[in-house]
A = this chain, B = another copy of it.
Amino acid sequence: MTNQAPALTRKELFLRAARCEPVPRLPVWMMRQAGRYLPEYREIRAKHSFLEVCKTPDLAVEVSLQPFRRLGVDAIIIFSDILIPAEAMGLPLELGDAGPNLPEPVRTEADVKKLRIFDPEVETGFLMEALRRTVKQAGADVPVLGFAASPWTLACYMVEGRTKEGFATVKEFLYREPKIFRELLHKIAEATILYLKGQIAAGVSAVQLFDTWCGELDLQDYTEFVLPAVQEIIAGLGGTVPVIYYTKASHHLLPAIVRAGANVLSVDWRIPLAKVRELAGPRVAVQGNLDPAVLFAPPEKIRQATLEIAAELGGRGHILNLGHGILQQTLVEHAQLFIHTGQQAALAEAQPAGKSRS
């Protein structure tokens, strides 16, 4: 049993887990942890639009820190949106209640050529400033995470604009003009490297790539189009901080995903963590994977499901998280139960000399 307070700081804990080194307990955080389930977040959003919060460092810092103060999570992810770089690349952006809209979508070679590789300090200075302040306020002991969309997921929004019905528009582009579509992905990758390097310079301890829509593709198209652009980003960052690659509904893509070069693979509840370990090997950490809907279950079920997941890798190379963003109607107490249960879970491999179980 290792239920005593950890001797490591949260940042050491997080980085050790990301490097598959032994840890006394699991680091735990939640995707979309700065969000509408928190009353203090809703209070700010009652007065400011989503984009306003993203673009006002004071507000972005405040909402980024809220889940840390309230729940004691082990990592603070910066409050922002994956579509911010789309705007910085030159596309007008609306983030309304009906979901995001890009009223001038990318549909032609000329549209791709017009996209700008942007200077993150110039075009997204608000984020870099919010990051620096968040890192400072979090202090040396708490890791702050940066993030970006994967090129495919950003391309989905850029090309579809709004609807995404069957992802027909973005796939039509891919099939009609595979070469230009690859250029689009490559251009997004280039911009994303600079964007994430900016975040790293601002002090983040790790970055996460969100590939929310990769699961719409079959293994062949994913491997041919998406994977190289993800690999390009991860290679381009040069290993300065751990890269977490999140993929949703990606069970059929796993054989390719493990080749992305990510330090941490973040998956949803459809994929057993042990399956990722088996395919990715013991040097790749795994993040996940409680179904956010389980936080709507009775407390005993939340506890039990969290402990099962915490035990799945014996504690080695595992960052505990949800399988997708926390849902708006989640009770704060249930989120808290997840975090605390995960942080207190006894680990088979909590001792430095422990052997991998899987």
Residues of A within 8 A of B (CB): 165-169, 171-172, 175-176, 215, 218-219, 249, 251-252, 269-272, 291-294, 296-298, 301, 324, 327-329
Among B172, B293, B328, which residue has its beta carbon within 8 angstroms of that of A297? B172
A218→B171 contact, CB < 8 A? no
Closest to A253 in B: B270
Residues of B within 8 A of A328 (CB): 165
Between-chain CB contacts (< 8 Å), 14 pairs: A165-B327, A166-B292, A166-B327, A167-B293, A168-B327, A168-B329, A171-B294, A172-B296, A175-B296, A175-B298, A215-B270, A218-B291, A219-B270, A252-B271
Nearest 6 interchain pairs by C-beta: A175-B297, A172-B296, A171-B293, A251-B252, A251-B251, A252-B270
Residues of B within 8 A of A270 (CB): 215, 218-219, 252
Among B175, B292, B298, which residue has its beta carbon within 8 angstroms of that of A294? B175
B292→A168 contact, CB < 8 A? yes
A171→B327 contact, CB < 8 A? no
Distance of A269 Cα from B127 Cα, bound (Å): 39
Given A165-B327, A165-B328, A324-B166, check contact A172 B252 (CB 8 Å). no
Q: How far is the CB of A180 from chain B (nearest CB, A)?
A: 14
Given A165-B327, A270-B215, check contact A171 B249 (CB 8 Å). no
B298→A176 contact, CB < 8 A? yes
B166→A293 contact, CB < 8 A? yes
Distance of A183 Cα from B254 Cα, bound (Å): 36
Distance of A318 Cα from B22 Cα, bound (Å): 50
Residues of B within 8 A of A329 (CB): 165, 168
Residues of B within 8 A of A171 (CB): 291, 293-294, 296-297
Residues of B within 8 A of A292 (CB): 166, 168
Q: How far is the CB of A353 from chain B (nearest CB, A)?
A: 32
Distance of A293 Cα from B163 Cα, bound (Å): 14
Distance of A294 Cα from B196 Cα, bound (Å): 33
**Most B C-beta atoms less than 10 A away, residue of A165, A269, A272:** A269
B218→A269 contact, CB < 8 A? yes
Residues of B within 8 A of A269 (CB): 218
Closest to A171 in B: B293
Distance of A122 Cα from B297 Cα, bound (Å): 38
Distance of A55 Cα from B291 Cα, bound (Å): 39
Closest to A167 in B: B293
Q: How far is the CB of A24 from chain B (nearest CB, A)?
A: 29
B215→A249 contact, CB < 8 A? yes
Residues of B within 8 A of A176 (CB): 297-298
Closest to A324 in B: B166
Distance of A167 Cα from B252 Cα, bound (Å): 22
Residues of B within 8 A of A252 (CB): 251, 270-271
